[in-house]
Amino acid sequence: MAAGVPVNDTYWSLGVTVGLPIAGFISLLATVGIVVGVRYGKKIGSYEFLEPSGGLIWTGSIALFHTLLITGIVMFPWTAEYHQWRPVGGTLSEVQSRLISAGSNGGSNQKFAVRFTGSKQEYSCEDTRCALLKPRQHLELSCIREWQYAGTPGYACQYVRSDGDQ
C-alpha cells in the first residue's frame, strides 16, 4: 500500500447503507399514495382535499417533499468520500498528540495526528493504541472525510492494525 494513499477497498457509512434505503422506501410509499390518489380522483371526478383522493395526493406530496429535502440535507456534502470508510496506511513519519476541548461540558478529548512518509496529509486517529506508535512503524487506518463549515475538511480515522500488534 502506498504511503498515505487510499486504496479501493471502501465501506459505505451507516447513513448510506441504512438511511438511504429507508428514505427510498418512504419515497416509494409516498409516490404510491400520490398515484393511487390521482387514479381514485379521476374515478370519482374530484381531487378536493377533504376527499380521499385529495388527502392521498397531499399527504403523499408532503411526505415525498420532506423525505427528499431531509435526505438531501443529511447527505451533504454530496461526494462519496464523506460517506465512505476508506483504508489508508503506510509507514509513519510523525505521531503527535492533540488535546481538544470537549465543549461547554468541560474536559477534553485526546486525539492523535499521524502523518505517513511521503504525504503531507494528517489523519486523526481516535484510538488510544495510536499513543504507542513510533515513526517508521507501519499503520493501517480506516478513514472517513469530515466536512467543516469554517475550516479545512480533514479525516477522522479508526485504528485497524500496526506492525506492533501481536
Average pLDDT, whole number, for the chain? 88
Q: How many domains does the chain have?
A: 2
Q: Is 1 within a domain?
A: no
- At 42 the pLDDT is 87
What DSSP line would sit under 142-158, residue for residue?
EEEEE--TTS--EEEEE
For residues 96 and 26, state if they share a domain: no
pLDDT greater than 70 at residue 12: yes
Q: Is residue 45 part of a domain?
A: yes
pLDDT per residue over 36-93, tens digit each? 999 988 888 877 767 788 889 999 999 999 999 999 999 999 998 999 999 999 999 9
Count of C-beta atoms within a 10 Å radius of residue 47: 16
Domain's final residue, options 76, 99, 132 = 76
In a domain, 95, yes or no: yes
| Residues 150, 102 share a domain | yes
Whether residue 4 is predicted with pLDDT greater than 50 in this model: the reply is yes
Is position 7 within any domain?
A: no
Looking only at the bridges linking them, the beta strands covering 138-146 and 154-162 are antiparallel
- Tell me the residue range of the domain where 72 lies: 12-76
Query: Does the residue 6 lie in any domain?
Result: no
Say how many CA atoms lie within 13 Å of 96 toward its Cβ. 10
Is residue 3 in some structural domain? no
Q: Is residue 145 part of a domain?
A: yes
Full-model pTM: 0.75
Same domain, 87 and 106: yes
* Same domain assignment for residues 101 and 150: yes
Residue 4 inside a domain? The answer is: no
pLDDT in tens, 101-124: 888 888 888 899 999 999 999 999
- Distance between CA atoms of 120 and 123, rounded to whole angstroms? 10
114 in Cβ contact with 136 (< 8 Å): no
- Residue 1 is predicted with a pLDDT of 46
94 and 145 in a single domain? The answer is: yes
108 and 158 share one domain: yes
